[in-house]
Structure 1
């Protein structure tokens, strides 16, 4: 269970509260108006924003005081954060060995995850030699290879076209399901939330609410979300 226990985030005149519980293995979209705090909420989970009050608890253990590297969270950002001078395999390998020193066994594991995301035999290519979709696959492979039970994604596929984005969300869903990962994905697109399946958190009006079943939520959204969805 992932719990945000009376969490409060404050930055200048911005304030956001969250008091929600998320079952282990759930796949949740995070939606809401621009500027409502979706990315800030995710950053608090990942350890890049310090809450002003409250707790973040994973499986009974408080994690909000831990550094990002010590948390059970792998984070994937929109820009992928790939190193242009490193090959795809070496970029992925950073998920295993942040110092870049991989053993023969590590290299086998990297090749296996590259194959799992549809990039077999492409480990020697650098990011500049890959398409946008292929770069997203490399970034996803690196995040998964960190072997952390929570995967936090901040609009990771926003730059992709609709068909490729749908393909990546399906890939994410499949990998996360097989590995039993808890997924939280920020998106602006209701279609992405529906495709991810499961449930949705709503960030609006200074609060995080939910989880809600995604289909019924989008069919009859509350006022704050209805205004955003138009």
Structure 2
């Protein structure tokens, strides 16, 4: 289950070749969204990379990120439990829809049957009951987004990082998927950080907004 701890950002500073791209401090409560707004190329996604532990070494970064008593920036990426959604769902084409979710179930659940049951229950929560055996390529864009979200949630993350996950959806789907993502993450008690260039995303998120400039 989610830890339901706030995400604390302390004196975050990210630079590229000496020029500062990101300067940020704050607290993101469970179930709330911090939106980082800026145009493409402004460096906003580097914040997610820093929090997740996969920042390209071409960037220099300072600051501390913690979740409850856990200092995430002291941990390797695989131990931070930072769930992330990208612009593309990134489903594995060689796996069924259910197996795409089951593969993310924590290793403590060893039974293949139990892992699959968890995947099927996750699909049912987002209206995709009966889709478990499907090839991911047969799904619509909105359905793929739902599967990608459930794959993240079954991994039991501490937080959710959203890297413009709605930008490639048409207007109607964007509203539906955005509402679903926020609702599911709030139910799970996850603090969220959303990076976007779309003001409508920030309005829907409803939390504080931090603006970054263009490069």
TM-score after normalising by structure 1: 0.81
Aligned to 1:39: 45
CA contact 2:82–2:160 (8 Å) conserved in 1: yes
Q: Which residue of 2 aligns with 1:161?
A: 170
Contact 1:87–1:125 (8 Å) recurs in 2? yes
Q: Is the 8 A contact 1:5 1:18 kept in 2?
A: no
* 8 Å CA contact 2:67, 2:158 repeated in 1: no
What is the DSSP-based 3-state SS (H/G/I as helix, E as strand, rest coil) of the residue aligned with 2:165?
A: coil
Q: Aligned residue for 1:3?
A: 8
Query: Does residue 181 in structure 1 map to residue 190 in structure 2?
Result: yes
Q: Deviations over 1:147-201 (max 9, x none)?
A: 1120101011211101101000111121112111111111221112111222322
Name 1:171's counterpart in structure 2. Answer: 180
- Provide the residue aligned with 2:3 in structure 1: none
Consecutive unaligned residues of structure 2, counting only runs of 5 or more, are 1-5
For the Cα contact (< 8 Å) 1:73–1:148, is it kept in 2? yes
CA root-mean-square deviation? 2.1
Q: Which residue of the partner structure matches residue 58 of structure 1? A: 67
How many residue pairs align between the two structures?
A: 205
Structure-2 residue corresponding to 1:151: 160
Structure 1 stretches of 5 or more lacking a match?
Answer: 207-230
Q: Which residue of 2 aligns with 1:135?
A: 144
Return closer, same or farther for 1:188/1:205 CA change in 2, 3 Å cut-off. Answer: closer
Deviation at 1:65, TM superposition (A): 2.9
Q: TM-score with structure 2 length normalisation?
A: 0.86
- Distance in 1 (alpha carbons) for counterparts of 2:135 and 2:183: 26
